[in-house]
Structure formats: structure tokens, C-alpha cells
A and B are shown apart, each in its own frame.
Chain A
Amino acid sequence: MTTSLVGASVPRTDGEAKVTGRAVYGVDYSEVGMLHARLLRSSVAAGRIAKLDTTHAIGMPGVHGVFTSADAPTCRAGWVIKEQHLFAHDVLRYEGEPIAGVVADTREQATAACAALEIEIEPIAPVADITSALDEGARLVHPEWEAYEPAGPADHPRRDNIACEVISDPDPDALLQAFAEAHTVVEDTYVAPRQYQAYLEPKSAVASFREGRYTVHTAHQFPFNVRDRVAQCLDVRPSSVRVLGHHIGGGFGGKLDTALEPYAALFAKLTGRPVKLVNDREEDILTCPSRENAIVRIRTALAQDGTVLARELECLMDHGAYSGEMPWLASVPMHVLGQVYRTGAARVTTTLVYTNTAPTGAFRGVGGTYLYFALEQHMDSCARALEMDRRAFRLHNLIAGGDQSLTGQTLDDAGLLREAFERMEEAAPWAEGPAESETNGALRGRGIAALTWMTNPMPGSATLKLNEDGTLGLITAATDNGTGAVTMGITQIAADALGLQPDDVVLLMPDTDAAGYDAGSQGSRTTHIVGRATATAANEVRDKVLELAARLLEADIADLELTEGHVVVTGASDRRIPLAQVAATATFSSGPIIGSGSYATQAPSFNPGCATGLLFPVFPTPTYHVHLAEVEVDPVTGRVTVTRYVVVQEVGRAINPAGVRGQIQGGVAQGLGYALYESLESDDGRYRERTLETYRLPLACDIPEVEIVLMEHPDAEGPHGAKGVAEPPIIPVAAAVATAVADAIGRPITRLPIRPDDVLAALAE
């Protein structure tokens, strides 16, 4: 019997393609006869197009066409709210909004013609930030908001500059009473910045239009969403669009909604030629659906013994000018507030606000990053007010197995949170405090933060076909955005079930014509959901193989095993037959052996009356985490150095421990960027950071090696017990680091990122 592949740190199957430069990414793809397009984008945050003259540009060398709103369908599109045209008609609502497109023989020619478009814009004072958008009498970003239709079957609460409002206030009297009777009331306000996904491969698309159908090549996290959104933008049915995936140079949530694909598709139809469109880095930064900036206010009523009696949370999220998936994400604050610490009576209000800025969207961990930052700083603030130990205060209020979240979802395994605290205690005993500093005069501090997070439940599928040479074809629209979920996780699950090696699995890149629906690489879902579908498919193939092999070997099915590419009679190693022979025999007698599987997590039950506007009511397949950070702060420069970082993470089952480690180390690195360096700042709605020089990303010298403790509590539904892994490690990092910095400097941290100037200002107070 060979060792199981499940639980083994086998290398990713696309590793060789990637280290040799042979892997074809979206930006590398090209076609014969392909033209190149560029977009003319708004240079202002708000304005009106006074004049747009394309005459000169059309006559420029190599130009095949110049296209504007007059050439695009008149329908409005959007993932949640249908509010957007492909090109601005008249009003400009954010810097970077597409106004026109130029298609030419070369990218240089398209760029030159784009620059030659004659445009006059009358600027309008932008609705630049959340606060001014909510001012009495504020100009509406969308005066016609009432005419917009929801993309789904039902609408949600929205009005004026508010794109979504979630309100949960189940027992106002209990809340009032708790605050009135509290021993201590603590209130804090926190501010969080926008964070750019900063994947290294800029967005791109290549499209063609033939026989009445669009074909779109893109390196995208969610090919089926591209299909649906291109169809929506171009007003055709989804099956009129075929989307083909390529290697993805990082996504982190920034490549879940469509971006350039509908433009490339429209231009392909209008020119009759394949068209390629690639963002330069500035366009990518200006238009990327970054993590939203937000303001979070938390207020807590405390009993003298440290019990939280009641808690209120108000969250204002910046939605930007148009909707991606943000109305769904407005549900996140309600989940965060009640799924780690008990709240007593609770009220949660989330307001998603339109501004004249680029539309915001999903970035790994979504709003959880700043909500947990706010919650954990506030927990410290409460502990200080009561003069309690910070860890003891957390444990006193920690939820337990069987507790309900604020949406009424029962968290059966929430006892794992306490276990995670205990495992952290073994790795880094709290009483010891931070390690001695090697730097003279450095201030040292330590922070701890906990997390409950979900595994995205949305559907996926896999088809496995046993080739006549004994290899296994894997057909799925699941995408590997770099995590290894497909090229390690799913591949290992498939190979293991059939006694094959990972290299025997031949993966078809995503193709929406060939594969069943898949909800994309988001929310750590791929290994859990598509892994489960793959296990089902593999078992079907396995059953068919064993049934035929039993006849060929004249043995009982129960005595057979699949190993090293053979079917073997257990205990009689000379009675064996190559899998290839079984496959070929089947193919030319009864037909090829094929198995398929589909899966989606059944939604846990919740309380539908718990809130209004809640589009995303449950957190399925939760996992539990505790992070600890130790920092040194230089009191002269204000510089923060993270000297130690420990993660305790519950994963269900680690299908590939090295892969899990990569997700945790990489997630923590992104979290450290968010905590200490990264921020898209605006002046009057226009970003200040427009390059990777001014947008400060974490470098090798900034990131410590993360110490990792894995907890494995297999999930009954997950493949081999696996739950989601990749998304959560980024989430509690800002929370842990900020509590550590606050501990070091003896002053609260209320704003991210924690830059040297802010540290010095806090120290000077």
C-alpha cells in the first residue's frame, strides 16, 4: 500500500510551468489577427462630458475604431444593483470611469489615438467621502437611484446615497436597560483605509466574436461570473458567452467581478477581429475594487466582573460610485460582532455609502480585517477600563460550542476558539510577555486576537474522465489563483482516490462551455467545495474501475485496491492489472469511464427576522483562529517591527501542509501590509497612490517567518474533513499587531495603517 497523498506536502502540478516561464497567463495570451484596445478614462472624480470629438482619433494610423456609449447596449448592468453603463453617457462618477475605447493594430497606436481624443469635462464638486455623502442635502451620486433594478430577484433597503443598509435591533429595551445599568460603558471609533489587492498580473482580456457567440480569454478568479456579467453588459443570454481561463497572476478578490472583459467582447464584435485589452498599472490601481475604507464605532456596556452586557456597532462602509458585490458584504459586521465574543443585547447598523470614488469590492477577508481590528482594539479598551488582564477579559467573554451568532446561526464547534487560545498559550505563554529586545530603548508589546470565519458555501463541480492510458482528465471551472487549491488540493484528492500520482491528473483550464458552474476562487471554498465534488467524481470512476477489474482479475471487488497505477488484489501482489488496461478495456467495450460530482454547502439555519437588509445571512463551515503578535517600536522614528508572529488555525484537515503554510505565511504578510503600510488615500476623490512605488507593499525584509500551529477537527461534509484555509490568515493580523503596538506605546491605536508618524503623534500625546 502506498502512502496516502492526502495530508502530504506534494508539490503543485503547475510548478514546473511557472518556474520555466512556460505558463501562459492572461497577459501572455494572444491570437492571430488580434487588435489592441485602450480605454479613455475619466480624469476627474465627478463631472460632465461637455464635448467628446472622435474625428481626429479615428483617422490616426492603425486605428480600426473609436467607440463610445453610442456604440454600446443601452441596458444597465451590475452584480447586485444594475446601475452601470459600459461607457459614461454624460455624467462621470469616479476617476478612471471608462468614457470611450480605441482599437488599433498595436497597443502603441491605440494609446496614441486615445490621447488624441478631444474631450472637455466640466468638473463637479465630488461627493468625496463617506461623511460628506451622508450630510444633509448632500448631492446624490445617483439622482436616479430609484430607477435602478436589482440584479437578483429581490431588492434590499437602499435610498439616496445609501446603497445598502443592514439594521439589527432585536431588543431595543434590553439594550437601553443594559447601558443604563452598566458598571462601565466604553465607546471607541476606528478608521480603516482602502487596500489595493496589488496582484502582480494586471487585469487583461482577449475576446473574439464568431458565429453569434463571444469567446473571452481571461485570467480570472470566477469565470462563470465573467460569463454572466459579459452577457448582462452586452444584453445577450449567458450561454452566448464562452469564458476560458488562464494562469492567474494573483487575484485576492480583485478578480471576482468582471472588468475589461465586456469591453474586449464589444470591441471584437464591432471590429470583427479578436481584441486584447490590458490595464497598465495606474489604470489597475485607479479602477480596482479595493477593500473599502470604513468607519467603525463600537460601544459596550460592562458589568463589574468583566461580562459584556450589551454591545452596539455602527459601520459606515465606502461603496464607491457603483456596485460590485458590496451590498452582500454589508452583512459582514453582524457576523463579526457576535461570533467570537458574547455581546449580550446587541444592535448592529451597517450603512454602505455611495461616493465619487472607484467602486470598492472584495479583498481576501473582506471587511473582517478592519472589523476585527476594531473589535479587538475595543476589547483591549474595555479590559483597560476594568483594569483586567486583556487575555483573561477575552476568555471571560468568549463564545462556547452551541452558542448562536447574532444572525441566529448555531456555532456547534465554537469551543474550538477556547482550544485555540490554549494552543496559543503552549506556543507563547501570555504571562511571559514579549521577548527581551535586542535594540536599546525599543518599546516592546504583545497583542492577541481571535477569529471565527467561514468557508464560502457556493456551488462547484468536477468531472473526471479516465483516459485509456490510465491518466485522469480533470474538468472543472474551479480556478487556481495561486493558492494550490486546484493544483495541489483537488488534484491530490483525485489522484489519491485512484492510486495515481498528481502528475497523472491532466487538468483542463477553466472553460465555461465544458465545465459545470463554479462560484470561483473566493472565501476559501475551492478545496472544500470542489474537493468534495472531485471526491464524489473520483469514487464514481473508482467504482466503475473496480467493477470491471474484478471481472478481469476474477476477484471480489472488496479484495481490490488501487495503487501505483494498478488494480491489485490485496495480499496477492502478482494478481494485478494496470489501470490503463482497465480504462482501455472499458473504453472499447462499454464506453469511457467518466465520473462527475457537484456540491454546495447546505445553508445552516438562521433567524430571518434578525435584521433587515441582510443579503448574506450565514457563515457556513466556520473555522476558528487565534493570532499573536510581538512588536518593537522605535520611540525616536516611530517605526514598528514585528519580531514574532504566531498563528493557531483550525483547518478541518490539511490536505497539503506545505500549501496550508504558504496560505498562512502569505495571508499574514498581506495582513502586515494592511496593518503597517498599505493605504489608498484620496484627495477630493482622487487617489494619491498611483504606482507600486507610492503604494507601499510588504517586502522580504518586512516579513518575519510565521510560527504556525494547525488544529485539525475534520468536517463531516468536507473532502477528507477539509474546511476553508486560505482566506482567514489575513484577517486578525491588523487586530493582533495594533493591540501589540498599543501595548508597546501605552496608547490606543484607532486608525490603520499604523505609520511611524501616527506612532510618534500618539507617543507625544
Chain B
Amino acid sequence: MRLTLTVNGAEALIEVAPHSTLLNVLRDELVLTGTKEGCDEGECGACTVLVDGEAVDACLLVALSVDGAEIETVEGLTSEEGTLSALQEAFITAGGVQCGFCTPGLLMTLTALLRENPSPSNDEIREAISGNICRCTGYAQIIEAVGSVARQENGR
């Protein structure tokens, strides 16, 4: 069946099987492998993408159910010139990345959070990422990364 999506600003027309998930389409059809599959059951958050601005688990969504939607993935966070977003920079600088497998999902969840709430408290950050499991970092440096972006934004 035919599916139309706008992915990171570019329109994509894809033939998909009826049961294909959005995650399958992104990783296998569009070869956007930045979005990760950790559990395929909506528990780990590694596959988080933005669908019309909202953070969702791409493994749980049947692709055809989001026909026509605007999708943002980790590949879309970097500008066309290759400049990293402030949040991406902060993750590197604050040490919020270790193995990095949860990082794309966390970046998408937190990008959505910061758009809605540019100055989240630490508790609000913890709450926002309660669906994103990170096994490496113990979260502290991730929370710091978000805090540093919030402070930069507020300083402007």
C-alpha cells in the first residue's frame, strides 16, 4: 500500500505492507538508521521520533496510521550545513552520551519537551524521559545537558 510522509522536511512516497510499523519504514525503507530498535514493544524509548511534533514510539505505530504526517528523526536535528542543535552539542559536552544507543530517542523526546517548555525543572526533565531507558549514564549528565540548553535559551 502507498504511504506519504514528510520526513525531516522531505516528502517520501513509500510502498508498505499493511502491518509495517513507522520504525520499519524509517529504518528499512528510508535507511534512516539513527532511530533505534531496542525492544519493539514500546518500553525502551530508543525509537522515539516526532510525529506532527509529538514524541512517540515509532515501533508501536502502524505506518499507514500516520499517512500524511510530518515526521522528525534524529537525522533532522542537524542543520543542512551540518551544524548540531544546541541539545546535540550539550549532550556531547556534558557527557550525556556513553554507548549512545538510547541517545537518538532521548534527543527527540527532549527536543519536544524544550519546544513546549524551554525552561524545564530537573523534575520535569526526569518526568519527560521516564519512557526513555538509558542503561549507561545514570541520567545525571543527560539532565545537566538539558539544563544547560535551557539556560542558554534563557540567557538570550
Q: What residues make up the interface of A, taking CB atoms closer than 8 Å to B?
A: 9, 11-12, 14-25, 27-28, 197-202, 247-252, 280-281, 481-484, 658-659, 661-662, 665-670, 691-693, 697-701, 703, 705-706
Which of the 9-residue segments B60-68, B85-93, B113-121, B148-156 touches chain A?
Answer: B85-93
| Contact residues in B for A14 (Cβ distance below 8 Å) | 100
**Complex: A20 Cα to B39 Cα, angstroms:** 21
| Contact residues in A for B75 (Cβ distance below 8 Å) | 20-21
Interface-centre pick from A25, A699, A706 (highest chain B CB count, 10 A): A699
**Complex: A202 Cα to B135 Cα, angstroms:** 13
**Complex: A251 Cα to B136 Cα, angstroms:** 9
Task: Check B139 against A700 for contact (C-beta < 8 Å).
Answer: yes
Task: Check A23 against B136 for contact (C-beta < 8 Å).
Answer: no
A–B Cβ pairs within 8 angstroms, 28 of them:
A16-B84, A18-B97, A19-B84, A19-B100, A21-B32, A21-B33, A23-B100, A25-B101, A198-B135, A199-B101, A200-B44, A248-B99, A249-B99, A249-B101, A251-B99, A281-B38, A659-B95, A661-B95, A665-B138, A666-B138, A668-B138, A669-B138, A670-B135, A691-B43, A692-B43, A700-B126, A700-B142, A703-B139
Interface-centre pick from B73, B137, B141 (highest chain A CB count, 10 A): B137
Residue of B nearest to A17 (CB): B100
Q: Top 9 A-B pairs ranked by shortest CB distance?
A: A21-B34, A482-B99, A249-B101, A18-B100, A669-B138, A15-B92, A482-B98, A21-B74, A665-B138
CB distance from A112 to the nearest CB of B (A): 12
| Contact residues in B for A667 (Cβ distance below 8 Å) | 138
Task: Check A699 against B130 for contact (C-beta < 8 Å).
Answer: yes
CB distance from B124 to the nearest CB of A (A): 11
Is the CB of B133 closer than 8 A to any CB of chain A? Answer: yes
Task: Check A662 against B141 for contact (C-beta < 8 Å).
Answer: yes
| Contact among A17, A20, A200 for B46, CB-based, below 8 A | A200
Task: Check A692 against B126 for contact (C-beta < 8 Å).
Answer: no
Residue of A nearest to B125 (CB): A700
| Contact residues in B for A691 (Cβ distance below 8 Å) | 39, 41, 43
CB distance from B23 to the nearest CB of A (A): 12
Residue of A nearest to B74 (CB): A21
| Contact residues in A for B135 (Cβ distance below 8 Å) | 197-200, 250, 252, 666, 670, 697
**Complex: A645 Cα to B79 Cα, angstroms:** 40
CB distance from B150 to the nearest CB of A (A): 16
Q: A248-B99, A666-B136, A700-B143 are in contact. Are A21 and B73 (CB under 8 A)?
A: yes
Task: Check B133 against A692 for contact (C-beta < 8 Å).
Answer: yes
Q: A19-B92, A666-B98 are in contact. Are A202 and B139 (CB under 8 A)?
A: no
Q: A24-B33, A665-B141, A706-B140 are in contact. Are A701 and B126 (CB under 8 A)?
A: yes
Q: A700-B130, A700-B143 are in contact. Are A19 and B137 (CB under 8 A)?
A: no
| Contact residues in B for A703 (Cβ distance below 8 Å) | 138-140
Task: Check A281 against B98 for contact (C-beta < 8 Å).
Answer: no
| Residue interface bits B23-42, CB-to-A below 8 A is 1, else 0 | 00000000011111111110
Is the CB of B129 closer than 8 A to any CB of chain A? Answer: yes
Is the CB of B77 closer than 8 A to any CB of chain A? Answer: yes
Is the CB of B48 closer than 8 A to any CB of chain A? Answer: no
**Complex: A251 Cα to B134 Cα, angstroms:** 13
Excluding A27-B37, A700-B126, 13 further A-B contacts by CB distance (< 8 Å) are: A16-B92, A19-B92, A19-B107, A21-B74, A199-B99, A200-B102, A200-B135, A247-B99, A482-B100, A483-B98, A661-B95, A661-B141, A666-B138
**Complex: A19 Cα to B145 Cα, angstroms:** 13
**Complex: A189 Cα to B130 Cα, angstroms:** 36
| Contact residues in B for A199 (Cβ distance below 8 Å) | 99, 101, 135
| Contact residues in A for B138 (Cβ distance below 8 Å) | 662, 665-670, 698, 703, 706
